[in-house]
Chains A and B, each alone.
Chain A
Amino acid sequence: EAGVAQSPRYKIIEKRQSVAFWCNPISGHATLYWYQQILGQGPKLLIQFQNNGVVDDSQLPKDRFSAERLKGVDSTLKIQPAKLEDSAVYLCASSPAQSLHFGNGTRLTVT
């Protein structure tokens, strides 16, 4: 089966600019997650979708981060405006049950 697809792989922006990441989960996976992985740390959940509804966004900085999964398939994560501390790898994962399947991530560098 095709894996979780993410784009772009790399992005460099200046602080205060906006950026968007895209994720296409594995077909049939109802649950989709966005994780933030800062260098030297484990992934931290930003938001979890079940189909097109939000299950958990308690750690999403809602003043600057937003995410949507309008048709219950693809998802986008947006940051506006970006800060230096947003430099990280943004991982998308999907799940049919207990195990998560991860994409290769988008490495964001904010200068």
Chain B
Amino acid sequence: AQSVAQPEDQVNVAEGNPLTVKCTYSVSGNPYLFWYVQYPNRGLQFLLKYITGDNLVKGSYGFEAEFNKSQTSFHLKKPSALVSDSALYFCAVRDGVNQGGKLIFGQGTELSVKP
């Protein structure tokens, strides 16, 4: 069965510093991996995805993520954090064998960026 783990409930970063939000996954086939962001009282917004190809994926708002097959990880990164990046971040995975299959979400990581 597919699953996603986000080991940190909260990540605190100073503005201007690099940030990393961790994600590991488990699927039986090739993974389709996603990052979403959720602001208070809003739905989830798509940030980026990995389907195939280059392991480094660039997405919205300056975020990027690196797919690491050997470590089954897909960590979200940003070189310089902004206060406005403070939000809830969700990693998600779909088993690529079933491309129309359900998206499984991690429990979320709350990112707090302080001035």
* Interface residues in chain A, defined as those with a beta carbon under 8 Å from any beta carbon in chain B: 4, 31, 33, 40-45, 48, 50, 55-56, 91, 93, 98-105, 107
B49 near A99: Cβ-Cβ < 8 Å: yes
Closest-by-CB residue of B relative to A42 is B105
Given contacts A42-B107, A104-B41, contact A98 B99 (CB under 8 A): yes
A107 nearest in chain B by CB position: B41
A48/B102 in contact, CB under 8 A: yes
Contact at A98–B49, with CB atoms within 8 Å?
yes
CA–CA, A4 and B103, complex, Å = 17
Minimal beta-carbon separation of B83 from chain A (angstroms): 23
Residues of chain A with a CB closer than 8 A to B99's CB:
98
State whether A4 touches B108 (Cβ < 8 A): no
Query: Number of contact residues on B: which range applies?
Result: 20 to 34
Interface residues of B (CB under 8 A from A): 4, 32, 34, 36, 41-46, 49, 51, 90, 92, 94, 99-108
Are the C-beta atoms of A104 and B105 separated by less than 8 Å? no
The answer to whether B108 and A100 have CB atoms under 8 Å apart is no
Residue of B nearest to A43 (CB): B105
A101 with B46, Cβ < 8 A, contacts A41-B108, A42-B108, A43-B90 known: yes
Q: Give the distance in Å from the alpha carbon of A31 to the alpha carbon of B34 in the complex.
A: 17
Which residues does chain A contribute within 8 Å of B108, judged by CB atoms? 40-42
Whether A41 pairs with B102 at a CB distance below 8 angstroms is no
- List 19 A-B residue pairs with CB atoms under 8 Å apart, sorted by A's residue number: A33-B102, A40-B107, A42-B106, A43-B90, A43-B105, A45-B103, A45-B104, A56-B101, A91-B43, A91-B44, A98-B32, A98-B49, A98-B51, A99-B46, A100-B34, A100-B44, A102-B36, A105-B42, A105-B43
